[in-house]
Structure 1
Amino acid sequence: MRSLVHSLLVTALMIWSAVADLRYVATLEQDGRAVDASHIEFVKTPPLRHGRHGRHASSRRDANAKDNISYSDNWCGVSHRSTPSDPVSNIFGYFTVPDLKLRPGIPAPQFAAAWIGVDGAKCNSTMLQAGVTTVVNANGGQSASAWWEWFPEASYSIKGLTVKPGDWMSINITIKDERTARVVVTNAQRGYAITLALTEGPKLCRLDTEWILEDFYEKNAQVAFATFSDLWFLDVAATTVAGKTIGVDGAAMVHMKNETGSVLCWPEQWDSSNFVVLSGSG
């Protein structure tokens, strides 16, 4: 599947950000061919509080699974860390667009966001990420959309790209330096990829690597978090400047707990580059 990502080139659509100094150029390809990108729209929203935080930001070592279990009130998935002397240069992975069901006893609409990104954990002043958000309404109907964000700048929803629950997406982020990066968002199932060339972004630490399902914050409150079908992350890997590969082995396995201590979701490792996020009923 990864070869699909590298085969995609583009026709250009240029948009200059009005927020601070961040600038980006977006280009689009369908089935390996450059296509008109004039129908693509980037809808700016206030930056979301995506960072891992809260009452359950703690960790322990699981003696049986040999996992570094970490708890959060808004993240579940896998988080790893490099060092300042060998910063992250690339992160990649496939995942399924969240396929949701209503969680009993919680008002609709309900949400879940899956994404891949750099920084935002130990380095929580900045983060570059891209992913998808699915919403399920009171009647069980779902809709999904792709987005990207270089926190603390604005978040951008990508309008005009078809995204459906269960689709296979990939995110490929290459960091040239602490303020310059390229983000490729690919829907492997539908054959399109959008490439974002980003410059003058907020200064990255380039330390944290994450493959995450999130109950994000909006307007200073967490959105209602839905239940979901098993959500796989495949071929996950990050590369450092020195060429070291970072994956699932040795990473923090982040479990999400609510205020009553119920686990809402957690990852289970399959091997060194694949894992699944499971839904709890709490």
Structure 2
Amino acid sequence: MQIPIIASALLCANLVLAAPGTSMRSQRASDRIAERRINRSSNINQRVDNELGVASKNGTSHVEYSSNWAGAVLIGSGYKTVTGTFVVPTPKVPSGGSSSTTYSASAWVGIDGDTCQTAILQTGVDFTIQGSSVTYDAWFEYYPDYAHDFSGIPIKAGDTITVTVTASSTTAGTAVIENVTTGKTVSHSFSGESYALCETNAEWIVEDFESGGSLVSFANFGTVEFTGASVNGGTDTSGATIIDIQQSGKVLTDCSASGSTVTCAYSG
């Protein structure tokens, strides 16, 4: 009769021992989410001079360089809906980087923030690596407010993600992320925002975003290819401004646009 009692006692002891670890992991996750909500934000396109006179490796003639944006921007008027689909990459530590440093990058679509810098309606996915740990966060943002994380949409490398923003007015709209691979979709509605959109920029961007007011260490994101890139239902990116990230005199990306595809590769 003692065996069941002993087994029960051991089980209880194991549960007691396991609980602190589980609690600590939950707390770390909560702390990371809380810190991210306070600190993570996108920014308007921060243009820099093309100090190096660099042309892209694929022959595209670049019009702009930026310290934080890479991708394509259409400049026009009446832009109401922007969408694009990409496969989630596996970020890597850049060459010469440290395994103890956290590196991140973000892929998103948006309206405004380039020639119109009063506001941005945007949504996308961040990819982050520290050592061997890789995490993904889906988010929405109405700049100049900070980014907010979506819940209920797990994301992993290789998932196909469709991101869409729609402006219903200059101060209202929606952000939608669909994980095509899993069938999960999340959305957020904005209304009565204090800063007005111009509806003159449509964007497909890989960004070096900010945390705590400074750019994060930029991850080697491999390649992000937006397919089905469209604005107001049209799928032609002809005439888009191509942007690459240039930091400390070095170009870190190589982007191009053709038809309904915008491609950005890490080249740093």
Same-fold status (TM-score > 0.5): yes
* Greater helix proportion: 2
Instruction: Please point out which of 126, 130, 145 is paired with 1:137.
Output: 130
User: Which structure 2 residues correspond to residues 66-215 of structure 1 after superposition, within 5 A?
Assistant: 67-83=61-77, 87-107=78-98, 108-138=101-131, 140-201=132-193, 202-215=195-208
Q: Report the alpha carbon displacement of residue 231 of structure 1 after superposing the two structures with TM.
A: 1.3
Contact 1:88 1:206 in 2 (8 A): yes
Contact 1:114 1:213 in 2 (8 A): yes
Letter in 1 for 2:265: L
Quick one: distance in 1 between partners of 2:152 and 2:223? 27
Question: Aligned in 2, Cα 1:124/1:98: closer, same or farther, shift over 3 Å?
Answer: farther
Contact 1:115 1:129 in 2 (8 A): yes
Quick one: distance in 2 between partners of 1:150 and 1:198? 8
**Structure 1, residues 33-55: CA drift from partner, whole Å, max 9, x if none?**
xxxxxxxx998435624211053
Give the number of equivalent residue pairs: 231
Structure with higher Rg: it is 2
Q: Report the alpha carbon displacement of residue 67 of structure 1 after superposing the two structures with TM.
A: 4.0
Quick one: distance in 1 between partners of 2:142 and 2:42? 12
User: What residue number does 2:226 align with?
Assistant: 233
**Structure 1 unaligned residues grouped into runs of 5+:** 1-40
Contact 1:102 1:226 in 2 (8 A): yes
Contact 1:47 1:153 in 2 (8 A): no
* SS of structure 2 residue aligned to 1:45: helix
Contact 2:71 2:255 in 1 (8 A): yes
Question: Aligned in 2, Cα 1:105/1:57: closer, same or farther, shift over 3 Å?
Answer: same
**Structure 1, residues 196-215: CA drift from partner, whole Å, max 9, x if none?**
22211231111111100011
Q: Report the alpha carbon displacement of residue 122 of structure 1 after superposing the two structures with TM.
A: 0.9
TM-score, normalised relative to structure 1: 0.74
Quick one: distance in 2 between partners of 1:44 and 1:263? 30
* Greater strand proportion: 1
User: What residue number does 1:32 align with?
Assistant: none
Q: Report the alpha carbon displacement of residue 166 of structure 1 after superposing the two structures with TM.
A: 2.6
**Structure 2 unaligned residues grouped into runs of 5+:** 1-32
Letter in 1 for 2:241: A
Contact 1:67 1:252 in 2 (8 A): no
Question: Aligned in 2, Cα 1:247/1:57: closer, same or farther, shift over 3 Å?
Answer: farther
Q: Kindly, what percent of the aligned residue pairs are identical?
A: 24
Quick one: distance in 2 between partners of 1:176 and 1:57? 36
Contact 2:225 2:261 in 1 (8 A): yes
* SS of structure 2 residue aligned to 1:164: coil
Contact 1:168 1:189 in 2 (8 A): yes
Question: Aligned in 2, Cα 1:258/1:117: closer, same or farther, shift over 3 Å?
Answer: same
* SS of structure 2 residue aligned to 1:250: coil
Quick one: distance in 2 between partners of 1:273 and 1:180? 26
**Structure 1, residues 44-95: CA drift from partner, whole Å, max 9, x if none?**
435624211053489x997995645311111111111113xxx111111111
Q: Report the alpha carbon displacement of residue 97 of structure 1 after superposing the two structures with TM.
A: 2.2
Quick one: distance in 2 between partners of 1:100 and 1:66? 25
Question: Aligned in 2, Cα 1:81/1:121: closer, same or farther, shift over 3 Å?
Answer: same
RMSD: 2.7
Letter in 2 for 1:273: S
**Structure 1, residues 119-168: CA drift from partner, whole Å, max 9, x if none?**
11111121010000011012x22110100000112320113320112321
